[in-house]
Structure 1
């Protein structure tokens, strides 16, 4: 028996909107937050490191309430970064792992005294190994470059 009238349209609308509503109500995991805050691959194009940092810090929601003093972006694919917690890294102390290979990085540091938006950053690019905290085989915290 086929459905008639508005019921099929309402059912279709419900099937489309329900997953979207569930996603909005779900909190970001620690691993997802790590990726949002630290992984930028492929690297976002900007004329220089200062403009790159000002753009990414705002775009990644790291300046909404206050200016985050420092943040590092890693310019390799998410799977490579996740691999540091497995065969791509070496255990350090506690739950920290050091990457076996260097990664391209951009480190953004707050320039000037203002801790409230609008924020102004300076940027520095480098290629270095990194140290991350891992939980359940996935990175959840960026510690430092080595």
Structure 2
């Protein structure tokens, strides 16, 4: 577990150091929503280790979605790999995601317990200056 956390921190530091001008919102997006090695059974551990909670509180976040991809692939949705979707940008291709849903409502950190579900969906994100800053939703897509 310590090795995984160390690797995650190293990856996060590497991504952040690549561009010192990267916004804090993009860094928060990475921390909350990108995990290439995420699985449905790891929701509790990953959410706890990343200190993910409702904004500005100790309350457990009701739902958090992790995208199993690299930061560069996700960033490309804000460019050629995405299309407008209202005020958001929708990915052209589906992604493997893990949706973590709170099991114990009204819980507070550190007692958050989650049920994970793996899915393959297109995703809708908010982009600012070419960087993803908010995960909006996953989208069920049916080809015609």
Q: TM-score with structure 1 length normalisation?
A: 0.73
Q: Which residue number corresponds to residue 97 of structure 1? A: 89
| Structure with larger Rg | 1
How far does residue 134 in structure 1 lie from its aligned partner after superposition?
0.5
Q: Which residue number corresponds to residue 28 of structure 2? A: 33
**What is the DSSP-based 3-state SS (H/G/I as helix, E as strand, rest coil) of the residue aligned with 1:129?**
strand
Q: Which residue number corresponds to residue 117 of structure 2? A: 124
Counterpart selection for 2:134 from 130, 135, 141: 141
Unpaired runs of at least 5, structure 2: 1-16, 18-22, 140-144
Contact conserved, 2:59 with 2:106, CA < 8 A, in 1?
Answer: no
State the number of aligned residues. 114
Equivalent runs, 1:49-128 vs 2, <5 Å: 49=40, 51-63=41-53, 65-94=58-87, 96-117=88-109, 118-128=111-121
Structure 1 vs Structure 2 CA RMSD: 1.8
Stretches (4+) displaced over 6 A: none
Unpaired runs of at least 5, structure 1: 1-22
